[in-house]
Amino acid sequence: MRPIATATLSLSLSLLIAPTFAQAATNTPFTPDDIAWLRRDSFGLNTATVTQYRSLGRKQLLTKQLSDQLGDTLPAPIAAQINSYEAFHTPLDQLLISLQQEQRQLGAMPDGPEKQAANKAIQAHGNEVGLEAQQAALLHAIYGPNQLKEQLVWFWLNHFSVYAPKGRVRWELADYEQNVIRAHALGKFRDLVMATLQSPAMLEFLDNAQNAKGHVNENYARELMELHTLGVNSGYTQQDVQQLALILTGVGIAPVDGKPQNFNPKMAPLVVQDGMFQFNPQRHDFSDKVLLGKTIKGSGYDEVKQAVDLIVRQPACAQFISRKLAEYFVADNPPPALVSKMAHTFQRTDGDIAQVMRVMFESRELITGTGKKFKDPSQFIVSSVRLAYEDAPIVNAQPLVSWVNQLDQPLFGRITPDGWPLDGDAWSSSGQMAKRFDIAHAIGTGNNQLFTPAGSTARAAGFPMLTTRLYYDAIDPYLSKATHDALTKATSQQEWNTFLLSSPDLNYR
């Protein structure tokens, strides 16, 4: 663990850091290409990332990341913290059963202060399990050993965005992140789409749990094509949306009230259930449909699988997903030639996400674009904490969530289903930059409660020391003159930390 200073510096900064530089000079220097690649491969540099790169080399590291050989194992204190969260140690069906019981008790109560208090308690409980999902996602991003996968998890969470405050979604977020997005982040895109299609969080957020024959709801069908797979202006029509909505009738969530479901004997064999997901054939429209010019015979759940297969194999899907990935990792306006190569691989490999990512991370375009992609709020916060505190185990993740909220990018907080913007212009206003400076100051000075248990009144442990071998090897040689000039004006280590973390250099990837 990197030591955290506990007192204000009394020596000049130049005297403090000179021995560190001499020690760093003995290391083989990184090339600019090394640093450029690492800044895109991880949320942000830290010693563990650099050591991993030196040990394995770029090619082997990429292979291990894309084949998921590095795993998701977190440092023991962080894993224990996440496992202590109710949202992660309680199965989703049990969470929803408990919620339903609380709601029934509430409904039986007479109006009055006691009922109001009970309702507030239910809402507070939902907020708490939702907060646990947010905290876990941030802790995974900071400490996850496979940083490329961690970035993909965040990308897919945003791409298949759900809104926490709607209905029961808060209770379903931990399951959504762990068992839907994380479990399929590096697999086939079709499997990822099917996993989101079956997830209670998505079914409730986009209303397909209410989609039934005679009461058709088109919300999810529209967003499945427009936002999740094909993109706007990709050739599908309103009739395709309507036909897909009919295909999706009966796709919903299994009831948790414990009452037996009475299916028509002819329909019972057509029921499909997987965890909380249920296809109810009695709510399904069995008419034949025509989707994207192809006839799909009315047959039940098999229609859904045929429709998803048809959609994800469209050239427009390969192009749309490849461009969004390149926009997140490479540039606001990614090079068309790179997107074309990625899309070709997407089609050739039947939507193999890992192979598409390999094309991107072996491309020259990834490296030549370094320093030009502005970090979104979550990238800024995660990279700053990784650099400042290395592997020091955070015991209170609440400040992380608060910072993301302050920067107007709350996880699971986008009310519209399009996800947060990927372009830098959305996150570089003067107000945004002022907030980033405040957060950099909180991280750089240690005045942040990350290492103080929630509810404790104890003082923070101290401030981080950023003038390390890592800094001189992998950061200092690539800073702009303006940033170097600003750092020379710092009068304390805390101020120096703040200037570095808030500098333009560290706000770009």
The domain locations on the chain are 4-56+372-507
Distances (CA, A) of 282 to 10, 99, 255, 256, 279: 76, 26, 14, 18, 9
The CA distance from 42 to 305, in Å, is 34
Helices (H), 110-162: 113-143, 147-159
What does the alpha-carbon distance between residue 414 and residue 111 come to, in Å, rounded to a whole number? Answer: 33
pLDDT of residue 445: 96
* pLDDT value, residue 369: 80
Please list the ranges in the chain whose pLDDT falls under 70: 1-28, 459-461
209-231 in b/e form (b: 16+ CB < 10 A) is: bebbeeeebbbbbbbbbbbbbbb
Q: List Cα–Cα distances, 360 to 106, 322, 444, in angstroms.
A: 53, 9, 33
Considering the entire predicted model, what is its pTM? 0.93
Q: What is the spatial distance between Cα 453 and Cα 119, in angstroms, rounded to a whole number?
A: 28
Residue located via tokens 């999810």 = 220
Give me the residues paired with residue 464 across strands: 4
Indicate the SS3 state at residue 363. coil
Burial 264-300 (b: 16+ CB within 10 A, else e): eeebeebbbeeebbbbbbbbbbbeebebbeeebeeeb
pLDDT in tens, 221-251: 999 999 999 999 999 999 999 999 999 999 9
In angstroms, the CA 205 to CA 201 distance is 6
Under a CB-based contact definition with an 8 Å cutoff, are residues 153 and 186 in contact?
no
463-464 and 289-291 as β-strands: parallel, antiparallel, unpaired? unpaired
